[in-house]
Amino acid sequence: MNTCVCGSFVDDKSTLCPRCAALQVLGLTTNATEPEIRRAYRVLVKAWHPDRFQDDQKLKDAAETKLKDINSAFEFLTSTTWERGQGQPSAPHFTSATSEQPSPEREPAAAQSPTGAAPAVMPRWSARLLLWPAARILFRVAMIGFVILLGRYTWIAFDLPGSPAEEVTMVYGASKDTLLKGLETPRRRFVQAVEGDLRRLGVLRSTPAPADNPLMGEAARPSSQQAGKAAPERMNNRPPEPTPAAPRKLLPYITVGSTMEEVLAQQGPPTASSENKLVYGKSELYFKDGSVIGWRIDPAASPIRVKLWPASAVDPGLASYTVGSSKDVVLTVQGTPTAFTPDKFEYGKSEVYFRNNKVVGWKEEPASAPLWAR
């Protein structure tokens, strides 16, 4: 029998326990938390979605196989309970729909009944699965009741004399203003029907309506108020128009602060990934809290469009920089570095060094990237 890296015992045919194997599929370590598992799962699902490989059937098939492994690993990690005290999983394979009876060898002697039979213990996830059908039935019953009430109030609201088709034709023929006035009566009937049911149930108290209550008929209002308040009431009764969602724009560059979703939308699936890094060939993008904080780009083998802008205004006519120049001057003259830290900009194999955001020196490799330092 072998021992997994987490301390659990496994059979001779494997070196990892089911949980560590699932974490390895998601690219996580053995001490990964549930939020880390969910974040890694969301990134991998986007990266390996088969729709991204429509032009290559082999890549699409490979992506489908990879996505199945990712889904199985995530389902196993989020639905399986563990007996950490003995280092053995209570569910040895990826399944959440079936429950297993506890093994007699692992059942403590004190837990058995006086008759000698081990009591059946239902796992917590099995109890949740049993409650789910009941919740679905209650939700359907509530929706049916809501539809019945809505149909009743609609029937009351539009119970007008004459043919509904003739009414609508006449209203639209009269103009938009006439249409709004024609819909005012159904609206009042709808609201009155709802309030009547609430009063009969004792939820709403009966109160006399004031003279300018919008639920009263037009005849109950003074003629001077009818003309002055008709237009504002129609505007107030009109539901607000939904604000259309802004289309998602692909930025021409990746910069510090770009989100992981924006990078995936622009660059596509990475060749390798983790929670804090995406790899595209020989180029790497580094993340913290889901946003880009740095990179290391290989412009020749794996070019990625990245950009750093100066934080302050700099004379665009400058042709070189020297000791004492600021980072903004270096960015204006030399451009975006292929890699950077707070104290160093890298341009290929050439490097510019900083202290307190001022140039203190450089190392130039002309064959890699010439520096405009003087």
Residue 237, pLDDT above cutoff 70: no
* Same domain (yes/no): 4, 52: yes
* Same domain (yes/no): 4, 76: yes
346 or 136: which leads in pLDDT:
346
| Total number of domains in the chain | 4
245 is a domain residue:
no
Mean pLDDT of 214-233: 48
Q: Which two tokens stand for residue 167?
A: 């009414």
214 is a domain residue:
no
362 is a domain residue:
yes
pLDDT in tens, 269-315: 999 998 899 999 999 999 999 899 999 998 888 888 898 889 888 88
* Same domain (yes/no): 274, 327: no
Please tell me the predicted confidence (pLDDT) of residue 122: 47
Query: In the predicted model, what is the mean pLDDT of the chain?
Result: 74
* Same domain (yes/no): 15, 70: yes
Residue 104, pLDDT above cutoff 50: no
* Same domain (yes/no): 317, 288: no
155 is a domain residue:
yes
Which domain range does residue 360 map to?
A: 309-374
Residue 84, pLDDT above cutoff 50: no
327 is a domain residue:
yes
* Same domain (yes/no): 268, 314: no
| Segment holding 345, helix H or strand E | strand 344-347
90 is a domain residue:
no
Three-state DSSP class for residue 194:
helix
Output the domain CATH number for residue 334: 3.30.1450
Mean pLDDT of 60-82: 84
Output the domain CATH number for residue 52: 1.10.287.110
Q: Which of 25-34, 278-287, 331-340 has the lowest mean pLDDT?
A: 25-34
Please tell me the predicted confidence (pLDDT) of residue 125: 52
Among 170, 204, 238, which residue terminates a domain?
204
Among 290, 307, 324, which residue terminates a domain?
307
* Same domain (yes/no): 257, 320: no
- In this prediction, residue 96 has a pLDDT band, given cuts at 50, 70 and 90, of very low
Residue 134, pLDDT above cutoff 90: no
* Same domain (yes/no): 173, 188: yes
Q: Which of 19-33, 191-205, 314-328, 338-352 has the lowest mean pLDDT?
A: 191-205
Mean pLDDT of 199-216: 58
Cα–Cα dist 339/308, whole Å: 11
252 or 230: which leads in pLDDT:
252
111 or 75: which leads in pLDDT:
75
Q: Which two tokens stand for residue 254?
A: 């990746």
Please tell me the predicted confidence (pLDDT) of residue 186: 76
Please tell me the predicted confidence (pLDDT) of residue 157: 67
Cα–Cα dist 188/157, whole Å: 8
pLDDT in tens, 148-194: 988 877 777 665 444 454 554 554 455 566 666 666 777 777 888 88
Residue 266, pLDDT above cutoff 90: no
* Same domain (yes/no): 301, 321: no
* Same domain (yes/no): 283, 346: no
Q: Which residue has the tokens 């929706």?
A: 143
Minimal CA–CA distance to 84: which of 22, 4, 8, 23?
A: 8
Among 19, 49, 80, which residue terminates a domain?
80
69 is a domain residue:
yes
The residue type found at 304 is: I
∠ CA 294-296-301, nearest 5°, is 145
